[in-house]
């Protein structure tokens, strides 16, 4: 692509080619007789990409290395966080037709010494900003969340934001969201002594606007980073499919020459960080350059990262030593390294982007062009204007060719093009690929954005069809369910949803347990290797109708004196029917309450069982109650006492009943009956005739209608 020269201060590019401008300038110089003083470039190629507007007022706005300033929405529009050449960072809209940016006027941050990282989750845009120096009064890190209206292409800052993430200048804050919806951030800061830099992590506490306190990553190698070489960290969410989804942090430690990686299983405690084998390790093997991505659409859920070594910093450097590594985390939990560039390529600031439509991975770097120039005296010099290069390789057969790569952004008017940035989203043939860079010329003070956009070809855009091969249907009595499913395209991955929950990664068979009573719906959508999602997920609906539990809510118990009984009962399952049984008879249909009359004397047992709804599940343990019918009153007998005439003013009577466990009521001389026990004793009796009566009351409450009676006379004067 050709590069157009912009009007200063304008976001639009002009159609005046730099080559034409150079030719005009050269003609003018020739006219002045100065042509012999102009160095002539050797094999100078045409410019590549597009030159955008100036960002005077800040420096290197497309840094810092692991951060992403761009994103694209489902309507196909690319967006970016750009400095508006006035006072602040805004959201800009990218126009692919005109290859230009326009300021939406939506503020991100007024502080010109901040660096940002973006995250678009399909519903909200998250932007984390932090200062990189102590300039200004506010040096805190903030998170802002924006909502998007695709109809108007307008962004709105949500209520409750910005939210505080941490305080003090930070190195390269980056953010991600885990499978539970929790936001995470990582950055590095010096420790309290200033001798070391440490890796910090923080996450939300129940809502996007509520963050905890940053804490040092609790694993080896995270608290003794180099203080002078600006070690950095980067965060990513990933799912290897073989274990719980995780959040991973990669960081550099130039003190021990190691690139580290540790992961945190989603939904677990803050101290549950698990170290992985170091992706890169060895003397001079680490530098503060990291870019990391996850490939959730891949069946293996791999993690890709590019990092830089410090082998190019040595005095007697080996030109063939690795300079840029790509490290790939596989399902076995280990990283495999691939050399992207060697020391002789002299590249820096690598970022990577994954094209899921064509199954390609791109690595972009900044590198000197190293053009030769013939001086007026005939000598040859090497000049190093900086440009952006790229390499790509197949995701399924990773191998990089030698050299710096292919120029992607190069402009003669901005020879210090550096700090490429893009999106942390995986790109597709629909989205295309956009890279933004910046140029800070220390000699002239010229500062401009530059970009290039790449169409990704006619890749597979046909989504797969998903089929549910087996699983429950209709009404079932089981609270567990297992579904097997398949896709019309090989190497597809799957997304599952139960009862309207968000779709999440799954594999066949997908199982569920402890399902509630009632109707359930399972949906599954295949995602092919190109990233195409089945827009019409396969669906199965069924009803769980489990075995009911029966309860008797009222009825007789123990011993009763009634030969009638009525029982009320219920079921744990709505719309149940019931079957009843009395004294071992067959179960027959019944409803609550169930009544019986003319029951015989003695013990009886009532049982009832519920039959559960459409599934017809029968309660295997019927509810049961046993009681005794006793309608016959006991007979009372006085077994010892007084008779005739006695001189004693005291009397004692023993008595018994024909029924065990009876209670008694006694009466002396016609007084009301009151509770008593055998023997019943009386003292201080007066002279004259006395009558003692006693009656038994059995356990059913039957009262002896003919109390036992004893009459005697007290005569103390005899």
The domains located in the chain, with CATH, are 4-454 (2.120.10.10), 466-544 (2.60.40.10), 550-629 (2.60.40.10), 636-714 (2.60.40.10)
CB of 80 within 8 A of CB of 449?
A: no
Q: What is the pLDDT of residues 470-512, one digit of tens each?
A: 999 988 878 899 999 999 998 888 999 999 998 888 999 999 9
Q: What is the pLDDT of residues 592-643, one digit of tens each?
A: 999 999 999 999 999 999 998 666 889 999 999 999 999 999 999 999 999 8
| Residue 530 binned pLDDT confidence (cut-offs 50, 70, 90) | low
Least confident span in 270-279, 409-418, 676-685: 409-418
User: What separation in angstroms does the CA of 95 have from each of 80, 105, 396?
Assistant: 11, 16, 33
**The predicted structure's pLDDT at residue 425:** 96
CB of 630 within 8 A of CB of 561?
A: yes
Q: Is the pLDDT of residue 296 over 90?
A: no
Calculate what percentage of the chain has a pLDDT beyond 90: 70
Q: Is the pLDDT of residue 462 over 90?
A: no
Instruction: Compute the average pLDDT of residues 147-153.
Output: 94
**The predicted structure's pLDDT at residue 444:** 74
| Residue 385 binned pLDDT confidence (cut-offs 50, 70, 90) | low
Higher pLDDT, 82 or 29: 82
Q: Is the pLDDT of residue 291 over 90?
A: yes
User: Alpha-carbon distance 435 to 305, whole Å?
Assistant: 18
CB of 551 within 8 A of CB of 623?
A: yes
Q: What is the pLDDT of residues 342-372, one digit of tens each?
A: 999 999 999 999 999 888 999 999 988 655 5
Q: What is the pLDDT of residues 553-589, one digit of tens each?
A: 999 999 999 999 999 999 988 778 999 999 999 999 9
**The predicted structure's pLDDT at residue 481:** 96
Residues 6+ apart with CB under 8 A from 251: 186, 188, 199, 217, 221, 222, 225, 231, 232, 233, 234, 259, 260, 290
Q: Looking at the DSSP assignment, which residues form a beta bridge with residue 92?
A: 80, 103
Q: Is the pLDDT of residue 80 over 90?
A: yes
Residues 6+ apart with CB under 8 A from 259: 250, 251, 252, 253, 278, 279, 280, 281, 285, 286, 290, 305, 307, 327
Higher pLDDT, 222 or 296: 222
pTM here?
Answer: 0.61
User: Alpha-carbon distance 608 to 366, whole Å?
Assistant: 81
Closest to 145 measured CA to CA, from 108, 187, 105? 108
Average pLDDT over all residues of the chain? 88
User: Alpha-carbon distance 112 to 58, whole Å?
Assistant: 5
Helix (H, G, I), strand (E, B) or coil at 130: strand
| Residue 22 binned pLDDT confidence (cut-offs 50, 70, 90) | very low
């Amino acid at each position: 692509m050709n590069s157009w020269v912009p009007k200063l201060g304008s976001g639009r590019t002009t159609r005046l080619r730099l080559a034409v401008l150079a030719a005009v300038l050269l003609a003018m110089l020739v006219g002045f007789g100065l042509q012999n003083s102009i160095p002539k470039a050797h094999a100078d190629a045409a410019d590549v990409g597009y030159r955008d507007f100036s960002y005077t007022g800040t420096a290197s706005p497309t840094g810092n290395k692991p951060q992403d300033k761009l994103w694209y929405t489902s309507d196909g529009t690319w967006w970016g966080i750009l400095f508006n050449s006035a006072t602040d960072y805004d959201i800009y809209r990218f126009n692919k037709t005109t290859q230009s940016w326009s300021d939406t006027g939506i503020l991100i941050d007024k502080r010109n010494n901040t660096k940002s990282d973006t995250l678009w989750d399909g519903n909200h845009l998250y932007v984390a900003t932090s200062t990189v120096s102590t300039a200004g009064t506010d040096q805190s890190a903030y998170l802002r969340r924006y909502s998007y209206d695709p109809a108007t292409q307008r962004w709105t800052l949500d209520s409750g934001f910005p939210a505080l993430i941490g305080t003090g200048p930070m190195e390269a804050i980056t953010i991600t969201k885990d499978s539970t919806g929790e936001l995470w951030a990582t950055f590095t800061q010096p420790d309290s002594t200033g001798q070391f830099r440490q890796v910090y992590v923080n996450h939300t506490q129940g809502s996007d606007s509520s963050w905890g306190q940053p804490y040092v990553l609790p694993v080896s190698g995270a608290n003794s980073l180099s203080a002078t070489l600006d070690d950095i960290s980067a965060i990513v969410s990933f799912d290897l499919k073989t274990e719980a989804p995780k959040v991973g942090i990669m960081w550099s430690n130039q003190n021990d020459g190691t690139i580290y990686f540790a992961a945190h299983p989603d939904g677990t405690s803050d101290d549950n960080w698990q170290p992985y084998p170091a992706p890169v390790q060895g003397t001079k093997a680490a530098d503060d350059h990291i870019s990391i991505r996850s490939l959730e659409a891949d069946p293996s859920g791999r993690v890709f990262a590019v990092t830089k070594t410090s082998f190019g910093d040595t005095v007697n450097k080996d030109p063939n030593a690795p300079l840029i590594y790509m490290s790939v985390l596989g399902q076995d939990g280990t990283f495999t390294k691939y050399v992207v560039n060697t020391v002789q390529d002299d590249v820096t600031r690598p970022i990577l982007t994954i094209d899921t439509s064509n199954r390609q991975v791109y690595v972009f770097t900044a590198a000197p062009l190293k053009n030769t120039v013939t001086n007026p005296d005939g000598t040859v010099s090497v000049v190093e204007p900086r440009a952006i290069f790229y390499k790509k390789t197949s995701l399924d057969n990773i191998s990089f060719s030698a050299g710096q790569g292919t120029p992607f952004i190069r402009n003669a008017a901005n020879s210090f093009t550096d700090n490429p940035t893009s999106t942390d989203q995986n790109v597709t043939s629909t989205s295309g690929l956009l890279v933004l860079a910046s140029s800070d010329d220390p000699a002239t003070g010229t500062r401009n954005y530059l970009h290039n956009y790449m169409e990704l070809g006619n890749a597979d855009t046909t989504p797969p069809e998903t089929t549910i091969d087996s699983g429950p249907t209709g009404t079932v009595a089981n609270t567990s369910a297992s579904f097997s499913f398949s896709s019309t395209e090989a190497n597809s991955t799957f997304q599952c949803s139960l009862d309207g929950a968000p779709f999440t990664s799954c594999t066949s068979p997908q199982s569920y347990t402890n399902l509630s009573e009632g109707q359930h719906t399972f949906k599954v959508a295949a995602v092919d290797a190109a990233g195409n999602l089945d827009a019409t997920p396969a669906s199965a609906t069924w009803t769980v109708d489990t075995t009911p539990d029966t309860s008797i809510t009222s009825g007789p118990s123990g011993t009763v004196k009634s030969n009638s009984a009525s029982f009320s009962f219920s079921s744990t399952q709505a719309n149940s029917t019931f079957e009843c049984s009395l004294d071992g008879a067959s179960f027959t249909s019944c409803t609550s309450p169930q009544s019986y009359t003319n029951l015989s004397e003695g013990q009886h047992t009532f049982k009832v069982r519920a039959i559960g709804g459409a599934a017809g599940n029968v309660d295997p343990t019927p509810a049961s109650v046993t009681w005794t019918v006793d309608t016959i009153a006991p007979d009372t007998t006085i077994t010892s006492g007084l008779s005739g005439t006695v001189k004693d003013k005291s009397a004692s009577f023993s008595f018994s009943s024909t029924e065990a466990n009876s209670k008694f009521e006694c009466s002396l001389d016609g007084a009301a009956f009151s509770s008593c026990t055998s023997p019943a004793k009386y003292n201080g009796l007066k002279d004259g005739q006395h009558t003692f009566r006693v009656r038994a009351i059995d356990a059913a409450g039957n009262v002896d209608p003919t109390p036992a009676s004893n009459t005697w006379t007290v005569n103390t004067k005899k």
